[in-house]
Structure 1
Amino acid sequence: MAELACETIQIAYFAPYSYERHQDLLAAVQTHPLVTLEHLGDTLDKRDLTLVKIGDGDTNKRNIWITARQHPGETMAEWLVEGLLYSLLDSDNANSRLLLDKANFYIVPNMNPDGSVRGHLRTNAAGTNLNREWASPSLDKSPEVFYVIKKMEETGVDLFYDVHGDEALPYAFLAGSQGTPSYNERLAHLRDRFSDALKLANADFQTEVGYEIDAPGEGEHDACNPLGR
């Protein structure tokens, strides 16, 4: 048996997405003429919470918000955002050109940089699950959510797409806002249209496996974030 060349081995539950790669991603996309980086605020460990803005700022366009890695251990979320960013900025991608003609994008690739660097699975530097903070975030426990909501109130939000991964369900699926009190027929129709569009765009997306659907007003969710895990 060959002798090991090192004394330590690391085994990842999900494909790692390092903080260095996160910084490299921000550096790469900011050179595009449609991209502006905005520092929303400092995390508890004094790291930047960075917003990637894509678009021309036309106030007549829709405003689409996308966040990832509220649970820092769900690294696949930032892998998805990396691919999304490069697709949106690909001038040869007809779908991306059409989307940018209709919408401005506000993307936070990593909502929880402190938890990512510390090696946390679900929490930030204060031990807070950010996904449970959307009803009443605070600068002491959840500045990341506090700053994002503040910016959302400034821009307005037509679509909020919060990217997660699930260690128990290896499927691509939507966890919608059916359990919130404001859910109605209009939102149900829009959600169904979005789901149908995802089926056409990505063969990996499916609707057979996912979370149980709550009745309106009966979901164990936060006021603003539909996933609420």
Structure 2
Amino acid sequence: MDWKQNYEYGVPVAELIERYKKLYTGAVYDVLDHLGMPYQALSAGLKPVRQDFVLAGPAFTIKGIPDTKGDENLRTRRIHLFNDMRSLGIPLVDTRDCSFDTQVAHYGEMNAVLGKASGVVGAVVDGGCRDTGFLLKDNFPVFCQYQNPVEAYMRWSYYDWQIPIALRGALSAVVQVHPGDFLFGDLDGVVVIPRQWVVEVLEKTEALVNTETAARAEFASGADPVEIYKKYGKL
């Protein structure tokens, strides 16, 4: 499965990733909000495991379920998940069927190693991660709700992938995420850009950031702030 074929944005995925990573989530959110999509920010609890991590890419959605018996069929099946990750993107882990489990680590070093070999550029986990030291040494950006050392085996398992999922939201109980939606995260959190809006939101945000940069320089020069606001409008 090649995401670049299945999620054609009109712009190469690698280019989209690099351009988004030059922006910041606040500006992207402002554009989404202005376009009538205020509920695209994920839970404020989702933070990078290192403050300088920035993450951008298509969503590869993953749904998990409780697995207290260590079902071998589930463990075998989940290996095929990595065969489906064959282009640039971000696994996005949904723990909702465990009432947003807060007990185990849902992502760790081995997931990252397998994923990176398949084109994964980071991960967003609406739950926990572990092996953080390895992730940091590998400079692999992960955003999660918490960190702990508890193994998921006999407690929780990946179940299905590349289906619509729901993660906790900042302004809403959940945010719906579909395969191919675009994720962008930095120290302030993570926003979800619907697939059909990826390029337009990018271009509008780039324009906004350019305007902000020009206005910022004028503010810093000591010029009259009233005149600057008149010149640039709402910032």
Structure with higher strand content: 2
Higher relative contact order (CA 8 A, sep 6+): 2
Say yes or no: TM over 0.5: no
TM-score if structure 2 supplies the norm length? 0.23
Structure with higher helix content: 2
